[in-house]
Structure formats: structure tokens, C-alpha cells
Homo-oligomer: A and B are copies of this chain.
Amino acid sequence: MTNSVRGGKRERLAAAAARVLHEQGVEKTTLADIAGAAGVPVGNVYYYFKTKDQLVEAAIGEHGRSLRGLLDRLDELPEPAQRLKALVRGWVDQREVAARYGCPTGTLASELDKRADGLDQAVAALMRELLGWMERQFAALGRDDAPELAVALLSSYQGISLVTNTLRDPELMKAEGERLERWIDALR
């Protein structure tokens, strides 16, 4: 009740975690970094998240929410090919961020994979969600190799994100996005 005014701390922390972990990486980010970015005192973080891992989990959750929001918006488009191409265009629009920090989900997946927490499974679930959506679009296009195509498209995005990031050249993602759009058009 009363904390509807001061509250939202949990949300602020999750949002700050998502952003800062993306920009700095999991290992290089301290709890103080996240707390500072959220404007929350360090000692107070633990009322919302018992461990640093839970903060990472919350960050993954944030990425999941924004992924779902995106897919919902895409679903309003009439044609599956339109939806897929709009997805690609969304990636291209984010190319500056990708060039600086990589794909938020991909870099998280890469880092968390080196650990034994089960957090990697949370990111994997996110990827599976996106894969499933892609698969449905390719199936709607009449492709019976939809699963394979979904993996190919996701891989292309993850790969071009990494390459764009490593070479610090956002234009690479633009060219690859155009190539992927042509590829989608050629599929039916």
C-alpha cells in the first residue's frame, strides 16, 4: 500500500541488472554496480534478492518480458514472412547496441554457460521460446523443415551479433539483415 510510492525497488533492481549485466558482463559487474544503477543501497538489495545469482535470474526474466512483448507485437502482422522480416529489422535497428555490447541474451548465454548454477537453463528457455515462435512462422509458410530454419535464423542473428560486436562494425549487421530478408522472401 504505502510502498506503492517508494516501491518498485524490485523492478528497478531487475531493470538495472538487465542493463548493467549486459553492458559490463556478469563477472565484471558487482552488486554495488547494480544497486548504484538502481538507486538502492547495497545492504537493501538482499531484501529483494538473496544472492547475486537471483539478480541475474531477474535480469533474464526482464529479457524474457521484453522478448514476449516484441513477439506479441509481431503477431499482429498478417503474414508470417512479414513477421519474420520485421523481427530481423528490429535486430538491425539495434545494431549500434549490438556493436557495443552484443546481443543481451546471447552474451548472457555465453557467460552463464561457464557456470554450474542452472542459470544457463533459464537463458536456454528464452532461446527455446524464440525458436518456437520462429518455427511457427516457418511452418505457416508451409515449410516442413521449419525447426531447422528456425535454428538457422536464430544462429545467424546470434552469430552476426557476436561478429558485429567483436569487429565493432554495426554495418555488418545491416548487410546481414538485408541478406536474411532476401533469404526469407526466397523461402516459399
25 of the cross-chain contacts (CB-CB < 8 Å) are: A23-B114, A24-B114, A25-B114, A27-B27, A28-B115, A101-B113, A102-B113, A106-B110, A109-B165, A110-B162, A110-B165, A111-B111, A113-B165, A120-B166, A124-B166, A148-B179, A151-B160, A151-B172, A151-B175, A152-B179, A155-B155, A158-B158, A159-B159, A159-B160, A162-B162
Contact A124 B167 (CB under 8 A): yes
Contact B148 A175 (CB under 8 A): yes
Q: A33: CB under 8 A from chain B?
A: no
- Chain A interface size, under 10 / 10 to 19 / 20 to 34 / 35 or more: 35 or more
Chain A: residues with CB nearer than 8 A to chain B?
Answer: 23-25, 27-28, 101-102, 106-107, 109-111, 113-115, 120, 123-124, 127-128, 148, 151-152, 154-163, 165-168, 172, 175-176, 179
Contact B176 A155 (CB under 8 A): yes
Q: Beyond A101-B113, A107-B114, A151-B175: 16 further Cβ-contacts under 8 Å?
A: A23-B114, A25-B114, A102-B110, A109-B162, A110-B165, A120-B166, A123-B166, A124-B168, A127-B163, A128-B167, A148-B175, A151-B163, A151-B176, A154-B159, A154-B163, A155-B176
**Shortest Cβ gap from A42 to chain B (Å):** 11
Closest residue of chain B to A25 (Cβ to Cβ) is B114
Report the bound CA distance from A158 to B155 in whole Å. 8
Which of B158, B163, B165 is close to A163, meaning CB atoms less than 8 Å apart? B158
**Shortest Cβ gap from A184 to chain B (Å):** 14
**Shortest Cβ gap from A107 to chain B (Å):** 6
**Shortest Cβ gap from A175 to chain B (Å):** 5
Residues of B within 8 A of A114 (CB): 23-25, 28, 101, 107
Report the bound CA distance from A167 to B106 in whole Å. 12
Residues of B within 8 A of A27 (CB): 25, 27-28
